[in-house]
Amino acid sequence: MTEKTDKQTHERQWERFAEAVPLIWQQRERILTDLQLFGARTPMRIRMAYVSMKDSGPYPLGVVVRAWSEYAENYTRVCPKCGGQMLIYSFSGSPLSGRSSHSATCTACGYRQLHVDEGSFGRLASPIMRIASEYRDLPKGDALSFEEAVILLKRL
C-alpha cells in the first residue's frame, strides 16, 4: 500500500466514524451490553504533542460510549446550529501546556465542528484513559471492524 492510499483509508475511516456518531449514541445501551459491539474497533485515539502515554487508544467502541455517557460534561458541547448535543469524537493536545483541540458531531442534526481550539486537555484525556485502562485485556484479534459494527447497528 502506498503512503497516499494509506492516508486516504485513514481519512475515510475518520469520516465514517464522525458520521456514525448519532447512530452510535442512539444505540448506546446496546453497545454497552453486547460484548461484540463493545469491543469493536474505532479510529479514536488521542494525538498528543511530544509524549506518548499508555491507554491513549485506539479505543474500542464501548470505551468511547462509556466516556460519552459517564462524563457527558467533558465530552458534550452545545450545537451552534440546533442547540442539540454534540459529542466529541476526536481530540488532540499537549499534556504539557494543557491546550487541546477537538472535533464533534451533533447527535440531533449531524452538524460537525472540526478542530475547535478550546478546553483543557486533561479534562478530555483523563476520563477516557481511565476507562480504557479497565479493558487492557479485551481480545483484539477477533474484534469487529468499525465498518462491521456500523452495519450491525443499522440493522437493529
Binding site for Zn ion (CB under 5 A): 79, 81-82, 84, 106, 108-109, 111
* Cβ at position 21, least distance to Zn ion in Å: 11
Closest CA to 18 of 89, 66, 101: 89
Between 63 and 104, whose beta carbon lies closer to Zn ion? 104
For residue 85, give the H/E element and its range.
strand 85-93
Angstrom CA distances, 53 to 119, 121, 138, 155, stand at: 20, 13, 19, 36
Cβ proximity to Zn ion: between 111 and 135 the closer is 111
Other Cβ atoms within 10 Å of 138 Cβ, number: 14
- Alpha-carbon distance 1 to 152, whole Å? 28
For residue 106, the minimal CB distance to Zn ion (Å) is 3
Phi, psi (5° rounding) for residue 80?
-70, -15
Shortest spacing between CB 80 and Zn ion, in angstroms: 8
Q: Is 8:2 a contact under the CB 8 Å cutoff?
A: no
Give the nearer residue to Zn ion in terms of CB position, either 108 or 138. 108
Q: Which is nearer to Zn ion, 56 or 113 (CB)?
A: 113
Least Cβ distance, residue 8 to Zn ion (angstroms): 28
* Nearer to Zn ion among residue 87 and residue 150 (C-beta): 87
Closest distance between Zn ion and the C-beta of residue 142, in Å?
36
